[in-house]
């Protein structure tokens, strides 16, 4: 095993640990504050379902023994569900941004956790779109300079 593959394995293990920790935090926050958001009671449900979905996806990434086609189909279906669920959760959370006053407000810990989680996801989506474009433009720039 060379150093690049051991670094890659180490990075994968760290990523899985972070992924599982985030999933557990999503489930815990949703469960702890499940009755503390009367203005939008679906926010805790959004967090719990998202956490469980993350755990299932993480498990499917680890499951590679002989179920490749079935696993890929299942990952695709869960990925589509996660995308739609992410949009729905964004609507539920961001629609309350200016409505944080009054007796029917969400618990601030719950609301800001959900808000922060969604912002973090949007940052990662943005980076996932920007980084390949940046790499492509650098590669194009360097190939043109070599010619």
Give per-residue burial for 116-128: e unless 16+ CB within 10 Å, then b. Answer: ebbeeeeeeeeee
What CA–CA distance (Å, rounded) separates 12 from 83? 23
pLDDT-based confidence at residue 16 (cuts at 50, 70, 90): confident
Write down the pLDDT at residue 137.
Answer: 81
3-state secondary structure of 103: coil
What CA–CA distance (Å, rounded) separates 2 from 18? 25
pLDDT tens figures, 103-119: 568 888 999 999 999 99
Instruction: Give the CA diameter of the chain.
Output: 67
Give per-residue burial for 4-13: e unless 16+ CB within 10 Å, then b. Answer: eeeeeeeeee
What CA–CA distance (Å, rounded) separates 127 from 20? 21
pLDDT at 100 exceeding the cut of 70: no
Write down the pLDDT at residue 133.
Answer: 85
Write down the pLDDT at residue 101.
Answer: 57
State mean pLDDT over 76-96: 93
State mean pLDDT over 87-115: 84
Write down the pLDDT at residue 88.
Answer: 96
Write down the pLDDT at residue 61.
Answer: 76
For 144, residues 6+ apart whose C-beta sits below 8 A from its C-beta are: none
User: Between 146 and 90, whose confidence is greater?
Assistant: 90
What count of residues does the chain have? 147
pLDDT tens figures, 67-77: 677 777 888 89
pLDDT above 70 coverage of the chain, percent? 86
């Amino acid at each position: 095993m060379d150093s690049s593959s051991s670094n890659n394995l180490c990075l994968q293990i760290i990523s899985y640990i972070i992924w599982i920790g985030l999933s557990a935090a999503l489930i815990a926050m949703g469960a702890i504050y499940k009755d503390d958001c009367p203005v939008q009671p679906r926010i805790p449900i959004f967090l719990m379902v998202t956490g469980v979905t993350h755990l299932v996806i993480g498990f499917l990434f680890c499951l590679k023994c002989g179920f490749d086609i079935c696993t890929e189909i299942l990952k695709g279906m869960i990925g589509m569900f996660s995308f739609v669920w992410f949009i729905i959760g964004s609507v539920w959370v961001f629609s309350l941004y200016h409505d944080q006053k009054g007796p029917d407000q969400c618990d601030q810990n719950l609301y800001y956790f959900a808000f922060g989680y969604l912002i973090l996801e949007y940052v990662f989506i943005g980076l996932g779109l920007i980084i390949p474009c940046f790499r492509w433009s650098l590669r194009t720039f360097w190939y043109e300079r070599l010619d």
